[in-house]
Amino acid sequence: MVAFGYSLLCEQRGPRELVADAVAAEDAGFDFEVISDHYFPWLDSQGHAPNAWPVLGAVAAATERVPLMTYVTCPIMRYHPAVVAHNAATVALLAGGERFVLGLGAGENLNEHVIGRGWPPVNVRHEMLGEAVEIIGELFTGDYVNRSGTYYRVDSAKLWDVPDGGVPIAVAVSGRQSIESFAPVADAMVAVEPRSDLVQDFDKAAGMTLPKIGQQPICWGTDTDEAIALAHDQFRWFAGGWKINAELPGPAAFASATQFVRQEDVAEGLPCGPDVAAHVEAVRPFVDAGFTHVALVQVGGETQPEFLAFAERDLLPALHEEYGKPGDARIKVR
């Protein structure tokens, strides 16, 4: 049985609209919701990038049932780890009922360059993330934390409002090195590729079976050609792959890097149009790989209300009929 989630994509929606979409997604029957944490959109045509944390606070207050998660926050440059821990603990308390998971990753130049410190190589970013995860985990205990590490200093920090038992942490991984670093300390795995080897290696390194969260973009619409054109306009950046996407510095760079990506190339990578069966099949690689949670991204900010009506009426029933319906989509501290 697989939990199917809804992605609040900050790059394509304003803050008030994101909150309204979160409520509508809960009402539609989605099992959980994730939110991106960006300073920039990938492409200018997406047109938005509100701060994810105040939006999360409003979503936590406006929703009642649905689990929430950052997908994902980078705690290595733009945010100090102590600030991330503070934000996460507060949102978790606002959400209540073990509804919030802090998703963490090593980030993209797109968002982190804004503080003017340059963009470290990937091995350094993973070292920074490892140290950040340790600091965040220590702060979630509610104790005072002091640290003079390789990358961060923490001076007598303490979270005065934190859930009993802390906040679950999910960490994004892409290969053996990141799995060996983070599986022993994470409560769940995040990955953007539906690879069974990641699932198996993560559980082996963790010493137990843990939740795995993936994400699948789709572009539902009543006209297939219009849906393909929309997906090409706003989501062709996805074709570059994460090794490239993590390095490019801004929307202009993504526009230049994808100038030769054709509409048919995008249509091959994600389902476009009204066919329910095509959207159901799009998530099968994640299900077959052993992922427990799959968050759908509907491309196009203005399409969200109609998509959510379609999801409630047709898509979610079809997904649960094909792959089962989970009894509880919450992710807990192990």
Residue partners of 302: CB distance under 8 A and separation at least 6: none
Q: Which of 11, 17, 38, 138 is catalytic?
A: 38
Residue 85: both structure tokens together: 């821990």
The answer to whether 166 and 135 have CB atoms below 8 angstroms apart is no
- 108 has catalytic annotation: yes
- CA 104 to CA 134: how far, in whole Å? 12
| Locus of tokens 């821990």 | 85
Q: Which helix (H) or strand (E) holds 148?
A: strand 145-148
- CA 263 to CA 17: how far, in whole Å? 28
The answer to whether 93 and 62 have CB atoms below 8 angstroms apart is no
Residue 127: both structure tokens together: 């070292």
- 281 has catalytic annotation: no
Q: Which of 11, 108, 112, 131 is catalytic?
A: 108
Residue 197: both structure tokens together: 């080897």
Closest by CA position to 33, among listed 215, 231, 198: 215
Phi-psi region of 263 (alpha: psi -120 to 50; beta: other; left: phi over 0): alpha
Q: What burial class does residue 244 get, using C-beta atoms within 10 Å of its C-beta: 0-12 exposed, 13-18 middle, 19+ buried?
A: middle
Residue 181: both structure tokens together: 């670093």
Which 8-state DSSP code applies to residue 73?
B
Which residues are catalytic, by number? 38, 108
